[in-house]
Chains A and B, each alone.
Chain A
């Protein structure tokens, strides 16, 4: 069966520090991968999506970037975090009928 792993689960970072969130999917090949962010009490904002290695589409230009170095690995990064980057980050993949399966999420607090 397919599983999705996301880490770290929580992190507290100072303003201006770098960020790296990782997501890996097991049990499937060539998944479509997504990064979403959810601010406190808000809806899901699509950040990036990828259809294959090295192929990244950005929805919200900002100080975040994404990379897909391997087929089932999706990384969200930032060189310098802002206070507004705080939130709940969710990685997801889609199956053949575009149903999203989400990871457990990474809660980021920027101080």
Chain B
């Protein structure tokens, strides 16, 4: 399993773009990268998933360089409600039943 490393915390202001980077130096060929968002006293919820290059949905973008040893979650124009902990998780998406281990996550604080 690829171990992930993220910054412990980040600060931002409303309306700014926020980029959170996750390092996963020993990512395997079959591994995908999945990002989750967690609010206090709630379970994490899925944000985005990707394998390489760029993935975009209505919430965020995910940038993955060619060597796939890191990934960057990009949140456009954040608001106060984006204050949460963000986790990246690396694992085989078709390896059904494998262990899915979270890293320490990044606590994002958005200020007015």
Contacts and interface: CB of A to CB of B under 8 A. Distances in A.
Interface of A: 32, 34, 36, 43-44, 46, 49-51, 57, 59, 88, 90, 92, 94, 96-105, 107
Contact of A98 (B36, B45, B94): B94
Given A43-B103, A43-B104, A44-B102, A98 B41 contact: no
Contacts, number: 70
Contact of B36 (A59, A100, A105): A100
B57 interface: no
B91 A104 contact: no
A60 B42 CA distance: 22
B41 A46 contact: no
A94 B100 contact: yes
A44 B44 contact: yes
Nearest to A10: B41
Interface residues of B, number: 27
A97 B94 contact: yes
Contact of B41 (A99, A100, A107): A107
Interface in B34-82: 34, 36, 41-46, 49
Interface of B is mostly: loop
Given A99-B49, A100-B46, 18 more contacts: A36-B102, A43-B87, A46-B101, A49-B97, A50-B97, A88-B41, A96-B96, A98-B34, A98-B91, A98-B92, A98-B94, A99-B46, A99-B93, A101-B45, A101-B46, A103-B43, A104-B43, A105-B42
Contacts of A36: 102
Contacts of B41: 88, 105, 107
A17 B106 CA distance: 35
Contacts of A94: 96, 100
Interface string B4-48: 000000000000000000000000000010101000011111100
